[in-house]
Amino acid sequence: MWKSLKKYWFIFWKFRAIRFMMLLEYRGNFWFWAFVSLMWTVFNFFFFDLIIGARNELAGWNKTEMYVLISTFTMLDAFTWSFFYHNMRDYIASIFNGQLTITLTRPINSQFLLSVQNNSYTNVVRFFVGLGILIVTLRNGQIPLTLAGVIGFALFFFISLLFVYTLWFIVATCSFWVDRLDNINELVPSTRRVWQVPKEVFTGFASTFFSVLLPLSLIASLPSEILLGRASFQWLAYYAVFTAVLFWLAHLFFTFSIRKYSGVAN
Amino acid sequence: MRRYFALIQLWFIKALEYRAELVVWAILTLLNTVILLAIWISVFRGQTSVNGYQVGQIMQYFLLVTVINGVTASHFEGWRSQEVREGKIDHYLTKPISYPLQVLLADIGNRLFYLTLILPITFLVYYVFSLSFNLGTVAFTPLVIAQFIFLLGVGYLIEFSCAMIAVLLSFWFEGAEGLEHFKWITISLFSGFMIPLEFMPGWLRSAVDILPLKYMYAIPIQVIQQRVTLRITDFMYIFFFLAVIFFFQRWLWQKATAKYTSSG
């Protein structure tokens, strides 16, 4: 078990090193896209600043709290575009063009390989900008930080990443069941605006849907609530259990769907 | 003219081939509209009006944004730029219609199919929201309709020109498709696409007043809501801007043809 984990850990970082070498090869590309991602970050903060400016709050979240939320969203978004987007795009493409055969014949867990083999470093800047704004907001807003709060934030930040990854993986796995749908990879990132706002923005059926049935609105809200000291244990427990079950279902769905795959040897 | 209509028809049929993808785009567009509406409804929670807007009016604003976006938005710069970089546009160059014109006709064909999808769904959403909210009246006098249709055309030409310039720049720059992000941000910020003019701070409002992008979303909606009517100076400014952007594209295309190389 330990040996196996060590092997996966080594492979994970080997892929990161390969991607880093590719980054050094196309440095101009890196700076260009880093600038684009930074522009989007600035735009997001600016847009919500204007909206909050109208009432000095949004769904019961004041400006400081909203900045914590948007910073958390920004850091999550960095992973979305750096990691998930590229791997899921390659996964979907490999199903459609038959190159999945190569992955399936490797002596390693296929889901792991499909999920980690690619990444981009262009959004690293976005992550650190989000982190920086988060720290400054917490300091300027005089929000008391506790060790438990920081650990809880880190834990639920990771759970949110796992949730986004799992949801995306399930959607990508649907590619086994459709003939050709090139924009299937855009489905999950297109819902990002749901988790860019506090969960209280949604009311009625939308609230039930986005908080309970498909808890997209909890992705950035819950880690932020932990830092702000307003998280509810019921929501945290529900979200953690939901993510764990979804992760298990994603694996089952993958192993089931893979039977549908056919491709000539490459 | 017949060959132009033939090309539009061809791309309409090609769009039919990828109808599932277009359905997904239509759903995502509407999802984003609904989320944006939810955000704005929460801004109005407990208030009857904010910055001169009532909740129904702001909802009407963003539903009209969706309609205008469905008609005018062009998203071809990504794959067209890739085609240019990979030297896959040879077959366009051998046809007796210029490449930019072929791209325009193709985009019109695609857009016509997309419109048949998005417009009925948007009107359905509009109707559903109108049952719960007072969305205000929409004026359909001939003058308003004429101005609105004219501005839709202007909006489309501006969107198309920006996308086309990004494609033409890919003859020189590798990351030209990234320019679409600049296009999105600029349009989102300066056209009233995401923020109505009344919610903008003074400095942004001044910039929007100077730039022509307001004719894409903010002004057409204000025309429909009978808040403004176009003046002769507006027409002069629009025609001047479109002429500038047209000649710039033409100049870029002339330079690009001298730059392009491919094999095979």
| A94 within domain boundaries | yes
Domain count, chain B: 1
CA distance B130 to chain A (A): 17
| A266 within domain boundaries | no
For residue B85 the two structure tokens come to: 């970089």
**How confident is the model over A98-117, as a mean pLDDT?**
91
Show the CA angle centred on residue B12, arms to residues B11 and B17, nearest 5°.
90
> B24 CB near a chain A CB, below 8 Å?
yes
- Cα–Cα dist B262/B264, whole Å: 7
| B91 within domain boundaries | yes
Mutation target for A interface from B22, B40, B43: give the one with most A CBs within 10 A: B43
- Cα–Cα dist A158/A112, whole Å: 17
> B126 CB near a chain A CB, below 8 Å?
no
> B39 CB near a chain A CB, below 8 Å?
yes
Domain range for A75 is: 2-260
**Do A191 and B178 make contact, defined as CB atoms within 8 angstroms?**
no
Q: Which residues of A69-86 are buried (b: 16+ CB within 10 A; e: fewer)?
A: bbbbbbbbbbbbbbbbbb
- Is pLDDT at A266 greater than 60 in this prediction? no
| B264 within domain boundaries | no
Q: Does the CA dihedral A214-A218-A219-A220 come out positive or negative?
A: positive
Q: Which of chain B's residues have a Cβ under 8 Å away from the Cβ of A54?
A: 43, 50-51, 199
- Cα–Cα dist B72/B51, whole Å: 28
At A215, give phi and psi (nearest 5°). Answer: -75, 60
**How confident is the model over A145-157, as a mean pLDDT?**
94
**Do B38 and A201 make contact, defined as CB atoms within 8 angstroms?**
yes
pTM: 0.88
Between the alpha carbon of residue B123 and those of residues B63, B70, B126, B127, B168, the distances in Å are 9, 12, 5, 6, 36
pLDDT at B33: 84
| B201 within domain boundaries | yes
Domain count, chain A: 1
For residue B237, count other CB atoms closer than 10 A to its CB: 13
For residue B61 the two structure tokens come to: 């604003």
pLDDT at A265: 55
Domain range for B91 is: 2-259
Nearest CA to B212 among B231, B232, B252, B239?
B239
- Mean residue pLDDT across chain B: 86
Summarised one tens digit per residue, pLDDT across range A173-192 is 998 988 777 788 888 998 99
Confidence of residue A242 (pLDDT cuts 50, 70, 90): very high
- Mean residue pLDDT across chain A: 91
Summarised one tens digit per residue, pLDDT across range A210-240 is 999 999 999 999 999 999 999 999 999 999 9
- Cα–Cα dist B257/B252, whole Å: 9
| A199 within domain boundaries | yes
Mutation target for A interface from B16, B35, B40, B199: give the one with most A CBs within 10 A: B35
Confidence of residue B264 (pLDDT cuts 50, 70, 90): low
| A23 within domain boundaries | yes
Confidence of residue B179 (pLDDT cuts 50, 70, 90): confident
Looking at per-residue confidence, does B137 or A211 come out higher? A211
Summarised one tens digit per residue, pLDDT across range B191-240 is 999 888 888 888 999 999 999 999 999 999 999 888 889 999 999 999 99
| A225 within domain boundaries | yes
| A134 within domain boundaries | yes
DSSP element (H, E) containing A45:
helix A27-55
**Do B28 and A181 make contact, defined as CB atoms within 8 angstroms?**
no
Summarised one tens digit per residue, pLDDT across range B61-77 is 888 898 898 889 888 88
> B17 CB near a chain A CB, below 8 Å?
no
Q: Which residues pair with A57 in a beta bridge?
A: A62
pLDDT at A264: 62
| B236 within domain boundaries | yes
- Cα–Cα dist B156/A261, whole Å: 42
Q: How many CA atoms, within 13 angstroms, populate the side-chain half-sphere of residue A113?
A: 13
